[in-house]
Amino acid sequence: MSGQRPGRRPVYDRYRVATVLAVRDRLRAGLAAEFLGRTPAGPDFARLVDLAAALLPRGVDRDALVDSLRPLAGRPLDQAAVDECAWRLAGNYRRLRRRRPVPPWHGQRLAEWVAVQVVRCRRERSPSGKPGARFWFRVLTGTPAGLTATRFWSARLCHVLALELGFDRPRNGRAARFPYVAPEQFVGLRLHALVRPEESDHAPGFRQVVTTPADRRWNRETVRCRFRAADGFRCLLGLSHDRLPCHHCPVGFTRCRAATHRHDWTRRYCPSCGRNDAFFDPEEPGERCVDCSRRQAYG
């Protein structure tokens, strides 16, 4: 895997995330409707190219699109292949306009700024024992679009980043209106990460992050939803933030914009604390409930 040439600036393409997600959804639905379970070859492959071109924004170079879709030729398309293709094309339509193919990601060739969104958080300690959390980031744009990156951030770093990500600090002796209190509050927030070849052996890797004005607008609205301050937002359970902060809510973000985990939590017996109605996160393996897992991480 080649590195970046000395002195070359990282790649940065400006994408509107809402556009990328809309194009991804169009591609996912359109390609699945016509090609799920089929093997595109010959005329079918030409039809696949035509369909993808029709679903992508205008100006995409056809030759670059052909080269980008060529890895799908001659193989049955399952849902995973359709999803991967939809993410890859949608998250790189500007690259395709510049006549640059977008092959499946097998390593990061150049340093590249990409939009990412936090999709999962698990409290952990570092190897040296510092409390913090591991975060999972969905890459939204760029050559690794659709893939997942992970990072551990210490509790101290989380407090530093919170202000950049949309939370408030106390002012003039008054408590913050929208304070950061727990790492789970980062789930759903967006930022830009500098993915580098030397940090991306088997998955996209990064250390440096920033927020763009669009990131900050999205994050601020998400934070306002969590404090029941956003126009038009209503808690699905009808509870105020004081009664049920979102990072303690069992509802997942597949149903609620303000949620801090993907799936609705389930209730069952927890052998660790002995509660019969303890909440469990379906994404987290093990026999500890959510409360016990958090206490165990920081206890």
Q: Is 247 helix (H, G, I), strand (E, B) or coil?
A: helix
Q: Which domain does 157 fall in, by range?
A: 112-226
Residue 236 lies in a domain: no
Give pLDDT tens digits for 117-160: 999 999 999 999 999 999 999 999 999 999 999 999 999 999 99
Q: Please tell me the predicted confidence (pLDDT) of residue 175.
A: 86
Give pLDDT tens digits for 184-213: 999 999 999 999 999 998 999 999 999 999
87 and 134 share one domain: no
Report how far residue 82's alpha carbon sits from residue 299's, in angstroms, rounded to the nearest whole number: 43
Tokens of 11: 């790649």
Quote the radius of gyration of the chain (alpha carbons, Å): 21
120 and 189 share one domain: yes
Report how far residue 288's alpha carbon sits from residue 111's, in angstroms, rounded to the nearest whole number: 40
Report how far residue 41's alpha carbon sits from residue 47's, in angstroms, rounded to the nearest whole number: 9
Single out the residue in 206, 226, 246 at which a domain terminates.
226
Q: Please tell me the predicted confidence (pLDDT) of residue 47.
A: 97
Handedness of CA 10, 16, 22, 26 (dihedral sign): negative
90 and 132 share one domain: no
Single out the residue in 33, 64, 97 at which a domain terminates.
97
CB 244 within 8 A of CB 187: no
Residue 250 lies in a domain: no
Contacts of 268 (CB under 8 A, 6+ apart): 276, 277, 278, 280
Q: How many CA atoms lie within 13 A of 45 on its CB side?
A: 14
